Amino acid sequence: MPREWDAATYDRVADPQARWGAEVIGRVDPAGVTRVLDAGCGTGRVTERLLERLPDAACVALDASEQMLAEAGRRLTRFGGRVTFVCADLRDPLPLDRPVDAIVSTATFHWVPDHAGLFRRLAQALRPGGQLVAQYGGVGNIASVVRALAEIGDPLPGRWTYPTPEEERRRLAAAGFVDVQVWLHPEPTAFEPGGPFETFLATVILREHLALLPEPERAGFVRAVAARLPGACLDYVRLNVVARRA
């Protein structure tokens, strides 16, 4: 699967993710946080809010995409040495030289398989008592897109990990997290129809599907998916996690 994103376009179209991320940042308890990890920082729009909320903290901005990190580097220049950029895959042990006090992650974990393993790696990267505050797709997320893809022949069925709260609670507890809160909320999101909606689908949701297709077939694939959706609206369902390492 391609690690790269069209970071400039993502930065322009990801207003919903930035809005949700700002709310998630509000759940971070600033007490005792001197070093925080943003796991899957993308272009840094949410990281920027995090740095503003924790003005005395240093931040590790981690992502698997060089293009995303380059865009984040430009956006976060004003924070100078407070930010360290790390190109790494969350499917591997996290390459941090010492534990962090908090991990924040938005709109990322549904791209990572095996959440039992992911939570173990995150626990290893956190100091005892450190916080995990995350939001990503939960069960039922963009079910209309999953259905549309199934109708036209999905080349990547089951690509996304959209767990239930019960599954995540069990995995978090097994990885050594306590004070675990996990909940779902619906986040239906409307877009400007036509080109803007198709650009969002192509850049954010169908990126990996399109990478499998020759360039001339990509626009038609996006249109075929969009035509099967109930208008320019996505039935997002977000799964929220707040927990502490024991």
Ligand X SMILES: C[S@@+](CC[C@H](N)C(=O)[O-])C[C@H]1O[C@@H](n2cnc3c(N)ncnc32)[C@H](O)[C@@H]1O
Residues that bind ligand X (CB under 6 A): 5, 14, 17-18, 21, 40-42, 45-46, 63-65, 68, 89-91, 106-108, 111-112
> To the nearest whole angstrom, how small is the minimum distance from the Cβ of residue 68 to ligand X?
4
> To the nearest whole angstrom, how small is the minimum distance from the Cβ of residue 216 to ligand X?
26
> To the nearest whole angstrom, how small is the minimum distance from the Cβ of residue 34 to ligand X?
21
Closer by beta carbon to ligand X, 31 or else 156: 156
> To the nearest whole angstrom, how small is the minimum distance from the Cβ of residue 125 to ligand X?
13
* CA distances in angstroms from 222 to 117, 194, 246, listed in the order given: 33, 11, 45
The DSSP annotation for 144-200 comes to HHHHHHHHH--SSTT-S----HHHHHHHHHHTTEEEEEEEEEEEEEE--TTHHHHHH
The 3-state DSSP class for residue 98 equals coil
Q: How far apart are CA 4 and CA 101, in angstroms?
A: 29
Report which residue type is found at 182.
V
> To the nearest whole angstrom, how small is the minimum distance from the Cβ of residue 199 to ligand X?
14
Closer by beta carbon to ligand X, 30 or else 93: 93
Closer by beta carbon to ligand X, 107 or else 241: 107
Closer by beta carbon to ligand X, 112 or else 122: 112
Residue least distant from ligand X (Cβ): 42
The 3-state DSSP class for residue 89 equals coil
**Of 42, 154, 151, nearest to 90 (Cα)?**
42
Closer by beta carbon to ligand X, 5 or else 162: 5
The 3-state DSSP class for residue 167 equals helix
